[in-house]
Amino acid sequence: MTREKKRIPYFDFLRGIAILFVVSIHTYELSPMAGNIWDDIKIFLGQIIQCAVPVFIAISGFFLVQKQTQYLPFLKRQIPRVYIPLLIWSLPYFIMALNGGYNLFTASVLYLCCGFSIYYFVALIIQFYILSPILCKFNKWGGVISACLITAIAVSFVSYELNIKGITLPLIVYAGPFPVWLAFFSIGMYLGSRKSRDYKITPWIWAVVIGLVLCYLETKFLLSFHNKGTGLKLSLHIYSFALIVLLFSERVQNYLSKDNPVFRFFTWLGSISFGIYLTHMYIVTFLVRNNFIYGWFVDTAVVLLSTAFLLYLLEKILPSGITRYLGLK
């Protein structure tokens, strides 16, 4: 969701698809399951869209490794670009927390540490920015394997605590630490440093299919404990990792990079994906509180298009200097 100076339309296209999936994840539970075959279909579709955050993280790693810059100037430039918009859009949550009974210290910690709503992603990206010199030194296939092992251990622990033991934790606590997502940033950096990404894709297609089947089976298993299982789990990371390698291949990139309205639309969505990420939960909350929910697909379309239209208006009305601090540039 972060922005780079050197933009490649295809990766904006991937961002556009990923932000659609992000919105779909957050409208996923708006329509209760009815206890029929649609439940299984919905579970399976729900696994497909869960790759959104891994794709965004991998794209960030892909472009970060290509930047030849000094470390401290890089941090001074990149961190404010994601952190200042986060502080602005988190402010209503901070005020609501104080009005809802949080003491000033707790609310301030949540506010400054990206602890409100779904904003853990900003804390996550900042961690990867800070760790980038170390990660670049291990940017080999062996480093990717090591990162996968670390992530497998971390996500297995998180899944056990959340899905099997049924422990309730804030999103920033279990999804905010970088080890849970390290494999995706690592594979993004590795692929971004390669001179060519023209590798065989057939094995990765099979890996995606197998990963999705495992996601479905693991979700069905985990739902029997505390009616959880749609979020973080090992099978989801297997599926997401394979999908990233598949989508980042030059063969797939060349095949999907078509100059047509669909590609241009999702490329545009990708170019404003960070703004959509920061703002769309306000519209989701408005729909829920006013009972404007009409089913998963309709809700997703309404939230996505409404948010995109709002950002379009803000970009047209406000000076560019202001929109930059809002995460729209």
Q: Which of 13-27, 166-180, 243-257, 290-304 is the least confident region? A: 290-304
Local confidence band at 68 (pLDDT 50, 70, 90 cut-offs): low
Q: Is 30 a residue whose pLDDT tops 60? A: no
Q: What pLDDT sits at residue 4?
A: 43
273, burial (CB in 10 Å: exposed 0-12, middle 13-18, buried 19+): buried
Nearest to 270 by CA among 296, 247, 287, 238: 247
Check whether 1 has a pLDDT greater than 80.
no
Return the pLDDT at 6: 63
Letter string b/e over residues 146-173, b meaning 16 or more CB atoms within 10 A of that residue's CB: ebbebbeebbeebbeebbeeeeeeebbe
Widest CA span in the chain: 57
Whether pLDDT at 32 is above 60: no
In which band, very low, low, confident or very high, does the pLDDT at 96 lie, cut at 50, 70 and 90?
Answer: very high
